[in-house]
Amino acid sequence: MIANIGLLLAFLALTLAHPGPIPRRPSIHPGPVQPYKAIPLQTERNPHKICHVKPGHKGSDDASIIRDALQTCNNGGTVVLDKEYTICTPLDLRFLKHVDIALTGTVEFCPDLDAWSLENLFQFHFQDASSWWVWGGEDIHLYGAGTGVIQGNGQVWYDAHAADSNVSRPLLFIADGWHGGSITGLKLRHSPNWHNFIANSSDILISDMDLFSRSSSENAASNLDGWGTFRSDNIVIQNSVINHDDDCVSFKPNSTNVIVQGLHCNGSHGISVGSLGNYPYQYDIVSDLYIYNNTMANTTTAARLKVWPGAEAVKKGDPPWVGGGGKGYVRNVTYDTMINDNNDLAIQIDQCYGAINASECLDHPSGVILTDVLFKNIWGTSNGVEDPVTGQLICGSEDSCDNIRAENVTLTNPSGQPPQWECRYMDEQLLDLGGAGCIAA
């Protein structure tokens, strides 16, 4: 009885903390390309189960307040975060069920390297991914209505990483085991590392997002992928703007039935499959992707597939990145309608990712096989960095790629020279490259 009274008092305190209006969940639907199966977006909430979250003193740690609100209004309620909140301790939110979160204020993370040392982060055994909070559960709708901000204060990590490349850099947002729902209308700012990691999840619509991360010092802001999908199925990412470094979207191992549409990616490494085959003795699968109507500006590559060779390779970097030797397949991937604006390359297939030289890759062809990949309706301009080359279609062996096709692909070079494509182990009869031909890679 006492416990129940305490819970009731906590609920009333949260509800009465802010008597203002409740931001309604936006009516956003996937389109024009529809998901492989319906995403549950119309689930209802109890209009009387509302938790308005009042923050503590400015700069104090609000992690426990936010967690308490989500526990109180879980299972049918709505949590309203419309003020300024600070998180300085890890927050595990993988208990969520049938709940809306209206994040129309600002949530920022303490810019404190010691507070976010590796032992204080949630760690994933994939490419050293870790984060300060992790979301999961079922039937969850997180929305910002265009005003909500998640602030990573990444500059501290950009500068620290320049001095010590072993510094742990948290990912800004991780969904782990999130099944059903949406993430919409949020502004993600200055992530220390990847902006979003969607892992072990399914049936999620992500829409109307605004991602921006740039360094204000001479130290680069690096590895700032927009989204990475991993062991996830039936995800839609759409109608968003991304200004950052690294992959705009990265389909990591076991990403299936994913749609990416209506993005404007500026300054990225492209919408990328991979990297895959990174870990020996692991089998990576990526299949059934449709990438539609995206604009890629000032990128190294617009459409990209990157696969490690069949034996260990050492990719240049600080520290060097060792990978390769994995197996798997990429199947049924379509890049349809992509505008290129000032990019190094329009398309890149690289089955020698991480290899120091071509002979190293040819001696050990990738064990990740690429089949049924289509690039169509791709046009625009290169920036001349690789002039006259506008794309690279490079497979590791004649057995590692099959049915790679291009239709209505037309690029121009700023020099006016006819575009050329570097190719290896390609069936050129399947390549409509606007009259451009292949040259040896």
pLDDT (tens digit, 0 to 9) for every residue of the chain, 441 residues total?
444 444 444 444 454 444 567 889 999 999 999 999 999 998 899 999 999 999 999 889 999 999 999 999 999 999 999 999 999 999 999 999 999 999 999 999 999 999 999 999 999 988 889 999 999 999 999 999 999 999 999 999 999 999 998 899 999 999 999 999 999 999 999 999 999 999 999 999 999 999 999 999 999 999 999 999 999 999 999 999 999 989 999 999 999 999 999 999 999 999 999 999 999 989 999 999 999 999 999 999 999 999 999 988 776 666 677 889 999 999 999 999 999 999 999 999 999 998 877 777 888 899 999 999 999 999 999 999 999 999 999 999 999 999 999 999 999 999 999 999 999 999 999 999 998 989 988
Residue 244 near residue 224, CB atoms below 8 Å: yes
Query: Quick one: CATH architecture of 48-233?
Result: 3 Solenoid (2.160)
CA distance 62 to 54: 9
Instruction: Answer yes or no: CATH 2.160.20.10 is held by domain 247-440.
Output: yes
The pLDDT, as a whole number, for residue 315 is: 67
Show Cβ contacts of residue 376 under 8 Å, excluding neighbours closer than 6 positions.
334, 335, 336, 337, 405, 406, 407, 408, 409
Residue 407 near residue 377, CB atoms below 8 Å: yes
Give the other-Cβ count within 10 Å of 270's Cβ: 29
Q: How far is CA 13 from the centre of its chain?
A: 37
Residue 308 near residue 278, CB atoms below 8 Å: yes
What does the block give as tokens for 46?
A: 């109890």
What does the block give as tokens for 244?
A: 């950052």
CA angle 153, 159, 161 (to 5 degrees): 105
Q: Where in the chain is the domain with CATH 2.160.20.10?
A: 48-233, 247-440
Looking at residue 353, what DSSP letter applies? T
Report CA-CA distances (Å) from 400 to 205, 277, 296, 364, 395. 33, 13, 28, 11, 7
Looking at residue 431, what DSSP letter applies? B
Give the other-Cβ count within 10 Å of 8's Cβ: 11
Return the H-helix or E-strand segment holding 25.
Answer: none
Q: Report, as residue numbers or ranges, the catalytic residues.
A: 269
CA distance 284 to 147: 38
The pLDDT, as a whole number, for residue 22 is: 85
What does the block give as tokens for 197?
A: 């990691």
The pLDDT, as a whole number, for residue 1 is: 46
Looking at residue 7, what DSSP letter applies? H
Q: In a 3-state reduction of DSSP, which class is residue 299?
A: coil
